Amino acid sequence: MTPPAATRSRGTDPGRLLAFDALREVHTKDAYANLVLARLLRERHLDARDAAFATELFSGTCRMQGSYDVIIEAAAGRGLASLQPAVVDLLRLGAHQALAMRVPDRATVSATVDLAAATVGRRVTGLINAVLRKITARSYDEWVTELGDGLDAQDRLALRTAHPRWIVDAYAELLPSAEVENALAANNSQPRTTLAVRPGLADVDELLQAGAQPGRWSPYAATITGDPGRLPAVREGRAGVQDEGSQLVALALSRVEADAGPWLDLCAGPGGKSALLAGWAGGRGELFVAGDPAPHRAALVRSALRGYPDDGRRLVVTADGTRPPWPERTFARVLADVPCSGLGALRRRPESRWRRQPEAIEDLQPLQRALLASAIGSVRPGGVVAYVTCSPHHRETAEVVDEVVQSRTDVELLDTPALLPEVSDAARGRYLQLWPHRHGTDAMFAALIRRH
């Protein structure tokens, strides 16, 4: 039985304890790593040093989990299934400290044993001590070399970069062979915190004067360190956190030539792209509509739009995009940012690579096709649809678009990269494909389609 929180907190390193509790929530409650970490940091009021340590320990352990599990099994001489799940999480945390964070071996072992005694019980401390001593006897590269002996090249790459084999195979299909390892390694980097100013409400200069740095690609972007909430523009809803890749795919839709008329974000939650589109549409005197089938996500969209005046020009509706309540041919521009595997955001969702299975991509395709077909039905002749995913996988991107476009005679695939000439090396034929290792963004995909 785990000791109660009030008991186990005394004398326990607060950063390590937070990382352990967060990891247990991810594995026992299927929690999202970024959300549980943010909540625990708010609740526990760690000082800046402990908070930074806890963040790297937890996020890095989630990210590298699959490779650490192979190392733990080798050091323990048995499978993980034979170990108590909480003990496995303690060993994962110890492995990350020793193999990735440069915590001295003695401190890693001692602190993890103390954490085990405080959280699980003294009966497991001997096992924790013995296994971690074996793990700390080698570096990560030495473990990978030893355990990779006899594996094929793709399995060795999966072990070295801490990705499931199926993701390595997918990247190998999408990228030149010389880029694959760099692309996988980029998923293990910590992304910058990037802000987007809301068009008409703020400009980048305001953020730069507050200490931010200009973005690399988007004219609406700036990067910061520390808490975004310290900036008045963020607190007031005139700017928000948003990866530059998400800004760029929305920007492409805003730049394409199209007739006047209302704009639609078909799958709007949580609202970052809606906040940009609403500003651009409003600047042209057009109505903006955002729809999402989940009430709580629709509420997030309303929050993202809170900086704009309540003048009836921006509407948020709870609506299923596959069965929309508006008439066909209503909108001039439609964004269909469809549900996907999220493989393009592995930097900021460290646990997702170990949760997703390739079958999940197959399962999403019917919904993705239905939403794209609905988006085309919602747009007027002469209007444009942007099909967007936060995934580079061909089954969720080009394959979906090609199937829908080829089934119709009233649509035309546009040259999306041509709308963003300032972004280099992003063309995948007429599609836009961003990559963390090339662009420093999430691996966003976009295809623009005009209806005739």
Tell whether 216 is covered by a domain.
no
Residues 256 and 374 grouped into a single domain:
yes
- Asked if residue 198 is part of any domain, the answer here is no
**245 and 142 part of one domain:** no
Q: Mark which of 103, 122, 149 sits at the end of a domain.
A: 149
How high is the pLDDT of residue 260?
A: 96
Task: Assess whether pLDDT exceeds 50 at residue 307.
Answer: yes
Residue 194 placed within a domain: no
User: How would you list the strands of the sheet with 193-197, edge to edge?
Assistant: 213-214, 221-224, 193-197, 239-241
Predicted pLDDT of residue 61: 98
- Helix (H) / strand (E) element for 223: namely strand 221-224
**Domain tally, the chain:** 2
Same domain, yes or no: 446 and 331? yes
Report the distance separating Cα 137 and Cα 259, nearest Å: 66
Question: Which of 62, 267, 340, 390 is flagged as catalytic?
Answer: 390
pLDDT category at 12 given cuts 50, 70, 90 is: confident
Three-point CA angle 48, 52, 57, nearest 5°: 150
At residue 8, does pLDDT exceed 70?
A: no
Q: What is the pLDDT of residue 7?
A: 38
Residue 230 included in any domain:
no
Q: Do 386 and 264 lie in a common domain?
A: yes
C-alpha span between 106 and 356 (Å, rounded): 35
Determine how many CB atoms are found less than 10 A away from the CB of residue 208.
12
Domain membership of residue 391 (yes or no) is yes
Catalytic residue check, 340: no
The enclosing domain of 18 has a CATH number of 1.10.940.10
Residue 190 is predicted with a pLDDT of: 87
Q: Is the pLDDT of residue 255 over 70?
A: yes
For residues 155-180, average pLDDT: 97
The crossing angle, in degrees rounded to 10, of helices 125-135 and 105-119 is 160
Instruction: Look at residue 210 and tell me if it is in a domain.
Output: no
Which of 290, 302, 303 has its CA nearest to residue 263? 290
Identify whether residues 143 and 274 lie together within a single domain.
no
pLDDT band, residue 5 (cuts 50/70/90): very low
End residue of a domain, out of 149, 183, 218: 149
Q: Are 393 and 361 in contact (CB under 8 A)?
A: yes
Please report whether residue 310 resides in a domain: yes
**Nearest residue to 436 (alpha-carbon basis) of 276, 250, 243:** 243
* Number of neighbouring beta carbons within 10 Å of residue 148: 17
Long-range contacts of 291-296 (CB under 8 A, 24+ apart): 291/264, 291/265, 291/266, 291/267, 291/316, 291/317, 291/318, 291/319, 291/321, 291/324, 292/267, 292/268, 292/316, 292/318, 292/319, 293/318, 293/319, 293/320, 293/321, 294/269, 294/318
Question: Do the domain assignments include residue 172?
Answer: no
By residue range, what is the domain housing residue 119?
Answer: 14-149
pLDDT in tens, 317-362: 999 999 999 999 999 999 999 999 999 999 989 899 999 899 999 9
Percentage of the chain exceeding pLDDT 90: 93
Same domain, 139 and 262: no
- pTM score of the predicted model: 0.92
CATH number of 245's domain: 3.40.50.150
Show the tokens assigned to 314: 């921006």
pLDDT score recorded for residue 11: 63
Write the CB contacts of 127 (distance below 8 Å, at least 6 apart in sequence): 76, 83, 87
Domain boundary among 117, 133, 149: 149
399 and 261 share one domain? yes
Mean pLDDT of the chain: 95
Helix axes 358-378, 398-406, angle to 10 degrees: 40
What is the model's pLDDT at position 424? 94
The answer to whether residues 141 and 244 belong to one domain is: no
The average pLDDT across 373-382 equals 98
Confidence check: pLDDT of 6 > 50? no
Q: What pLDDT is stored for residue 23 in this prediction?
A: 98
Helix ranges (DSSP H) in 356-424: 358-378, 398-406
Distance CA 194, CA 409 (A): 40
